[in-house]
């Protein structure tokens, strides 16, 4: 019998993946690199790397984007992502009903790779967080998913 449910966030509770893709695509376009949906899926979801690898592979290093430039681009992407999130309620269809029904039967927590600010901004309109004991965001564990550490940390917190 299950005692608790650990939920992922992006793509499970909220539809933010497309917003992150859009913010990344717009940002690296400013240095002349096109990011396709296929590039994005491969780099972020399969290889667990970032768009900066694509920039490097396409010769952006020679165009003057050094380590500080990559940090600047990442900051610009993060700002744009927050703007896109703030535009509305990214809750996926049916999630509210499922989460509220399960909350009556199970202890629940969220385990996400999201940073705290975009996580909380995305949930500002959802009303979901009241049903979860806590949310474990990226800065609360050392090794990112798919490493099991975030889930171990969440299990320890749940007892």
Cis peptide before 146 (omega within 30 of 0): yes
User: What is the domain class of 4-15+90-158 according to CATH?
Assistant: alpha beta
Which two three-digit tokens encode residue 127? 């009303």
**Per-residue model confidence as pLDDT tens digits over 56-69:** 666 555 455 667 77
DSSP annotation of 104 = T
Residue partners of 72: CB distance under 8 A and separation at least 6: none
Domain extent listing, the chain: 4-15+90-158, 17-86
CB-side neighbour CA atoms (13 Å) of 88: 7
Tokens of 46: 């399969």
Q: What confidence tens digit (pLDDT) does each residue in 109-149 have?
A: 999 999 999 999 999 989 999 999 999 999 999 998 888 99
Tell me the pLDDT of the chain averaged across its residues.
Answer: 88
CB contact set of 56 (below 8 Å; sequence gap of 6+): none
């Amino acid at each position: 019998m299950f005692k608790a449910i650990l939920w992922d966030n992006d793509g499970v509770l909220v539809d933010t993946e497309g917003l992150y893709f859009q913010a990344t695509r717009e940002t690296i376009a400013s240095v002349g690199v096109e990011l396709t949906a296929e590039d994005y899926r491969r780099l972020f979801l399969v290889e667990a790397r970032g768009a900066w690898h694509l920039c490097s592979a396409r010769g952006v290093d020679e165009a003057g984007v050094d380590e500080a430039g990559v940090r600047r681009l990442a900051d610009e992407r993060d700002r744009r992502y927050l703007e896109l999130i703030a535009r509305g309620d990214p809750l996926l269809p049916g999630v509210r009903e499922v989460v509220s029904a399960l909350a009556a039967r199970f202890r629940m927590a969220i385990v996400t790779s999201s940073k705290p600010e975009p996580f909380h901004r995305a949930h500002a309109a959802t009303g979901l967080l009241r049903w979860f004991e806590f949310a474990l965001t990226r800065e609360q564990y050392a090794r990112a998913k798919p490493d099991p550490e975030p889930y171990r940390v969440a299990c320890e917190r749940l007892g």
